[in-house]
Amino acid sequence: MQADFLETLDEDIANADPGGQIDFPHMPEGQAVDMGLAADGTPLFDPRILNSSEFSRNPYPYYRILRDHYPVYHDKLHNTYYVTRYDDITACYFDDEGFNTIPKGSSSGVLGNTQLELSGVEHRRRRNLYGQHLVGQSLQHRVPSIQRLAQAMVDDWEQQLDQPHFEQRGGKRLVELGKAFANEFPIRVVCEVLGFPKEAQSDFYYWYNSMMSGLGGSATHKAGLEARQHLEDYVEDIVQQRRQSPTYLYDEQGNPIAKDIITKLCETQIDGDVLSTEEITSNISLLVAAGGETTRGAIINMWYLLLQHPDQFAQLQADDSLWDQAFHETLRHSSPIGGQPRHNTYDIEMHGVAVPAGSLMQMVDFSANHDDRVFADPDSFNMFREDLYAGKLLRSGYNKGGKCSHMAFGAGPHLCPGAWISHQEAVEGSKILLQRLGDPVLCLEKMPTEQDGQTLKPNGIAPVRELWVEYTHS
């Protein structure tokens, strides 16, 4: 039956529907479209669902079908193998020989010669160039800068009340947190901790937005390449200056506490040689990409989920140490990062599926984070869940005593390099936001709803784009 279904699907795609597009009805959240059953009762899976708006808004019941019945699924429509179970994805991430790199050319065109597409010794050496500046004491040195930038953004709201992302309603004020804070805050932080002059901030927005857009397809690739070249030209002058005169991050009293990342990269040596300007620019490009959209999505998704769960939010208001738990549960429940592609080095067989060497394999972190083999009631948001590890992010992951780490940043050698700073920005920025907002509630009338006009749209596979909040202004 499954073979007959796939033959019919192949014929449909080749003849009637060459684009692989089909309209699927929008289902209630958590419920999948009926795509038929095999003779043995196994649910069939139509890969065209992956192109649909239904899947974008309601992906998790479809990932459940894949996990339960097709844990390694060969999608002929996209010529991709999807790996969807938590344990399988973890094993692949830690197999640095069998699944060692993301596909060649998927990032290097815009970001430059980063370590994303490298493996083994060369990958470790490249990553260690800047990895030491993103953890431990180096990370703590950035807290004053992050807090100051967050406070400055919130203080600046009083000068923006005529902008469309604010409304005044008597003693209440409405604010759209994306435009007012989350979209720009991570970019400001990364700009400062890297060590760019303040006057470069407008250029930094241009570099970030253009390079991120350039990763998305050919239509924007040229603009991304131009932005990347402009960044390298700018960095060249800075590098020459920093090699002679290092610059610093400062505490709240204005005392220097640590050198900024560009200065540290200028001082880094490999085999007795300093890094070239191109190598430094590539590392900067990677941090720009890793520290921007991920953090924006984490902040806005976290607030959206918390405000839909007022009991949990009330406990967080009473104890701001709970922000770490809220952050980790947000990234488990509604990660802004869907997964990581890999090429397998040699022929493999997983769950009875033969995967030829060099195939495109998608490690679906979205699905791993909702695997009920690991997380109980995975589609529910619960920052107090007992099966989620909410401690310090570890490249080795965590799986002890019934607690597991989420997969939002991956795991193993290629754990997202911006993971630690994203965590830090989201938590410290949210603490400052809460001080100003005090008693926030969702402004339901301004949020997207389902067809009934009342039910909020599910988070789906993309971060919330707008988040309207009402609070008492004093």
pLDDT in tens, 3-43: 444 444 444 444 445 456 788 999 999 999 999 999 999 99
- Of 187, 84, 112, residue with least CA distance to 418: 187
Give the dihedral of Cα atoms 223, 229, 230, 232; nearest 10 deg. 150
CA separation for the pair 165, 198 (Å, rounded): 25
Per-residue model confidence (pLDDT) at position 69 = 98
Structure tokens given for 224: 């991304």
Burial 150-175 (b: 16+ CB within 10 A, else e): beebbeebeeeeeeebbbeeeeebbb
Structure tokens at 337: 């990062």
Please give the pLDDT value at position 105: 53
pLDDT of residue 12: 46
pLDDT in the model for residue 418: 75
Q: How far apart are CA 185 and CA 149, in angstroms?
A: 8
Write out the two tokens for 464: 């919330």
Task: Note the pLDDT of residue 125.
Answer: 58
With contact defined as beta carbons under 8 Å apart, do 341 and 102 qualify? yes
Q: Quote the CA–CA distance of 98 and 345 in Å, as a whole number.
A: 5
Q: What is the DSSP letter of 243?
A: H
| Burial of residue 186 (number of CB atoms within 10 Å: 0-12, 13-18, 19+) | buried
Q: 421-459 burial by CB neighbour count: b if 16+ within 10 A, else e?
A: bbbbbbbbbbebbbebbeebebbeeebeeeeeeeeeebb
Question: What is the Rg, in whole angstroms, of the alpha carbon atoms belonging to the chain?
Answer: 23
Structural domains of the chain sorted by starting position, each given as residue range(s) with its CATH number in brackets: 59-472 (1.10.630.10)
Per residue in 333-381, pLDDT tens? 998 888 888 889 999 999 999 999 999 999 999 999 999 999 999 999 9
Q: Is 348 helix (H, G, I), strand (E, B) or coil?
A: strand
Paired residues of 173 in beta bridges: 168, 471
How many C-beta neighbours within 10 Å does residue 356 have? 10
pTM over 0.85: yes
- Low-confidence residues of the chain, pLDDT below 50? 1-16, 18
